[in-house]
Amino acid sequence: MKHKEGFSQIAMILIAVGIVVIGGGLYFILRTPQVHAPAQTNQVNHQVVTSTVSNTADWGIYTNPAYGFSFRYPQDFQLVEVSSSSLKLYPLPQPIEFGPYFYIQIIATTTNGLTAAVKNMLGSSLVSYEQKTVNGKEWLYAKANEYQGGIDQNVLMNLYFTHLTTGSIFSIKYPSNQTEYADDLAEIMGSLVSSGETPTSSN
């Protein structure tokens, strides 16, 4: 009988210790401040970009009468009209299928705000966006994933958008790992004007 009483006392002590341990653990968890990660946003600060190209007076001029715009581009770049609403620009002598390129496209006509229109067009592929001033002109800059069937994978693309006076959206797109010709791109974007005006140049 005494053995049973001793066993019962030991069991009760173990149960009491377990309750204290569990209770202490819960108290520690509840009292520990919870650290919450800041909410993610896909918009970052406004940036200003200015090229260092000293002279673009001898650059070529492309004019698109269908959508009413013109811009300058380097003489050592090849310009290919894919259609009335899309172009490819790439440096020579590197072949277009291997070398860096800029894909220019008129992608929509809208009366909505530029940011809302771009977010709607890119949808879930949009990674981030921000406002940028490039050589004095305002652009919406975005990063988005684009599936490319030739390599069967998504490629992160840089995209710039601005409204033309006709209401259409002018866009320039290129792979985000393509860092060459940043100054040339800034000059091209800064020279964009409506048809009837002369694209600006650096003297």
Tell me, yes or no, if the pTM score tops 0.75.
no
Is residue 31 located within the same domain as residue 120? no
Convert the pLDDT of each residue in 50-97 to its tens digit.
Answer: 655 657 888 999 999 999 999 999 999 999 999 999 999 988 877 656
Is residue 122 located within the same domain as residue 186? yes
- Number of structural domains in the chain: 2
- Residue 86 belongs to a domain with what CATH number? 3.40.1000.10
Convert the pLDDT of each residue in 91-108 to its tens digit.
Answer: 887 765 666 789 999 987
What is the DSSP annotation of 38-70? Answer: PPP-SB---EEE-------TTSEEEEETTTTEE
In a domain, 82, yes or no: yes
Other CB atoms within a 10 A radius of the CB of residue 23 amount to: 10
In a domain, 201, yes or no: no
In a domain, 42, yes or no: no
Task: Domain of residue 81: give its range.
Answer: 47-194
Is residue 19 located within the same domain as residue 77? no
Query: For the chain, first and last CA: distance in Å?
Result: 108
Q: Does the pLDDT of residue 30 top 60, yes or no? A: no
Is residue 105 located within the same domain as residue 26? no
